[in-house]
Amino acid sequence: MNAISVQNVSKKFRLFVSPKDRMFEVLHPLRKQYHREFWALKNVSIDIAQGQTIGIIGRNGSGKSTLLQIIAGILQPTSGSITVNGRVSALLELGAGFNPEFTGRDNVILNGAILGIPRDKMIVRMPQIEAFADIGEFFDQPMKIYSSGMFVRVAFAAAVHVDPNILIIDEALAVGDAKFQHKCYQHLAALRERGITILFVTHSTNLVTNYAQQAVLLDHGELIEAGEPGFVVDKYHELLFGNAKDHIRISHGAAVGTESGRTDRRIAELASEGSTDDVCFMRRTYNKGETRFGTGEAKIIDYVLQAETHWDVGDIPFGSMLTIYVKALFFRDVAAPASGFCIKTVEGIYIYATNTVIMGEQLKPAYKGDILTFKFSFPLIMSPGDYFLDLAVLQADGTRGGHVLDVRRSIAHCMVSLDRETPFDGLVDLSPTFEVLAEDSRRNHGGIEEDQ
């Protein structure tokens, strides 16, 4: 029996330029339309078995949250049908369903009432909920004074302690701190063992591959793929970066020489002075959400990620040799230029950061109008997943960080992929060696006699 059945569901929204256009449409005697139609979902069909854990992924605006809201009963589909078997508890956008004037305790009781659980039963469960939320005396304060982290603690505690048959989570846990997230995932694992159906929306491909039993990929309101998480995540990577896996697959025989020659020409073109325009936005991995700071006395105008002999890649095979090129234009003379990079997780955890000062490299002076291209190379031994890169151009001044001329934080978003199970857990592969030393066995040496 399916816990959820979604059959040919479509959802249309009417978008108005301004509130007055909505009023004009209502009052117009000839029913003139002042809106444009936006289809958030288009003929989506999914069957979800009881007890399954489903990860839903897709780019922003793909319809993920709309689908969850329809399943939760918050929105009604424009067409199609939804069948849900069992009590649904939903943790959607932060604060949804909570009254900011009420205390955390009052909102927990209200949440239970909405799900049909009597007040006396919620009061019995209250000690568990309060302990799980772990916000101390704030539990009896109005939620309007809560931080976002406190809000999600109470919301999650309330959602998972109402005996749901189906639990729906829409990115809400991304707000909590690391310890609370860890506790939440442990609790979700326990719910999964009890046969609770869990649907969650996330941008973390690691979470999908490690936690979900099945995955669903949406794009522009359409169902692109559903099935085994690893396969669906690969399809998601293709949406983000194009058919990157095919692009970077290591070839054999004559093809290697052909690709190598093409790469050599690209390196020569990059290193030539050429245009002074900033073309970083044209790169496959460019992240338009980057932040930037520095004196502006030099600027990064281009960069490239190269995997082995393959150029401008976004989906990089685990273990391949990664080369980072950083191209900078100097607007004044710099006696001791330097460059650096940083790799970090989606959560902002630094995996590795260095620069030419730390590496002990002393570069020749750069003069006004010069364009220099810096090159860093290293084997990629990080756990498969999403990573962001910071790039920098500096002036050495005797400190480890140098004098910042231009730093572009999170300028690049790449993914590390692996076509087999990782032989380790964690963030990096340390490739340890192992051996068993000879034991000082007393057996048959006078210490311990074997039974005859």
Q: Is the pLDDT of residue 390 over 90?
A: yes
Cα separation, 68 vs 78, in Å, equals 15
Tell me which of 3.20.20.80, 3.40.50.300, 3.60.10.10, 3.40.50.1000 is the CATH number of domain 2-241.
Answer: 3.40.50.300
Half-sphere exposure (Cβ direction) of 130: Cα atoms closer than 13 Å: 17
Q: Higher model confidence: residue 336 or residue 261?
A: 336
380, 319 contact by CB (below 8 A): yes
pTM of the model: 0.56
12, 38 contact by CB (below 8 A): yes
Share of residues in the chain with pLDDT > 70 (%): 87
Q: CA of 432: how far to CAs of 357, 384, 429, in Å?
A: 29, 18, 8
Q: Is the pLDDT of residue 242 over 70?
A: no
pLDDT score at 233? 81
How many Cβ atoms are within 10 Å of 374's Cβ, its own excluded? 23
The token pair that represents 272 in the structure block: 């030539």
The token pair that represents 398 in the structure block: 């005797």
Place of tokens 């093809």: 255
337-345 vs 350-355, strand pairing mode: antiparallel
The token pair that represents 432 in the structure block: 């340890």
Closest by CA position to 4, among listed 204, 226, 171, 189:
226
400: left (phi over 0), alpha (psi -120 to 50) or beta: alpha
Closest by CA position to 90, among listed 166, 168, 158, 184:
168
pLDDT score at 451? 52
The token pair that represents 164 in the structure block: 């749901």
How many Cβ atoms are within 10 Å of 439's Cβ, its own excluded? 7
Give the start-to-end residue ranges of the domains of the chain.
Answer: 2-241, 276-417
pLDDT score at 352? 92
pLDDT score at 439? 66
Cα separation, 47 vs 167, in Å, equals 16
Buried b (16+ CB within 10 A) or exposed e, 417-428: beeeeeeeeeee
pLDDT score at 174? 62
Mean pLDDT over 75-104 rounds to 84
Place of tokens 């993914």: 415
Q: How would residue 452 be classed by pLDDT, with cut points 50, 70 and 90?
A: very low
Cα separation, 160 vs 117, in Å, equals 13
Whole-angstrom Cα Rg for the chain = 28
**Burial category of 318 from C-beta neighbours within 10 Å (exposed 0-12, middle 13-18, buried 19 and up):** middle
Q: Which residues are bridge partners to 307 per DSSP?
A: 310, 322
Taking only the tens place, the pLDDT of each residue in 274-313 is 778 899 999 989 988 888 889 999 999 999 999 988 888 8
pLDDT score at 442? 58
Going by C-beta distance under 8 Å and a sequence separation of 6 or more, which residues neighbour residue 354?
Answer: 340, 341, 342, 376
Q: Higher model confidence: residue 388 or residue 255?
A: 388
Closest by CA position to 329, among listed 294, 355, 361:
294
Q: Higher model confidence: residue 38 or residue 8?
A: 8
Cα separation, 371 vs 37, in Å, equals 49
- Count the residues in the chain: 452
The token pair that represents 96 in the structure block: 């949804």
Taking only the tens place, the pLDDT of each residue in 136-181 is 899 999 988 988 788 888 888 888 888 889 999 887 666 566 667 7
Going by C-beta distance under 8 Å and a sequence separation of 6 or more, which residues neighbour residue 81?
Answer: 5, 7, 8, 9
The token pair that represents 60 in the structure block: 């922003």
Taking only the tens place, the pLDDT of each residue in 363-373 is 999 999 999 99
Q: CA of 449: how far to CAs of 440, 444, 452, in Å?
A: 15, 6, 9
pLDDT score at 141? 93
For the domain made up of 276-417, the CATH class stated in words is mainly beta
Cα separation, 198 vs 187, in Å, equals 12
Cα separation, 201 vs 54, in Å, equals 9
Interior CA angle at 283 toward 413 and 290, to 5°?
45
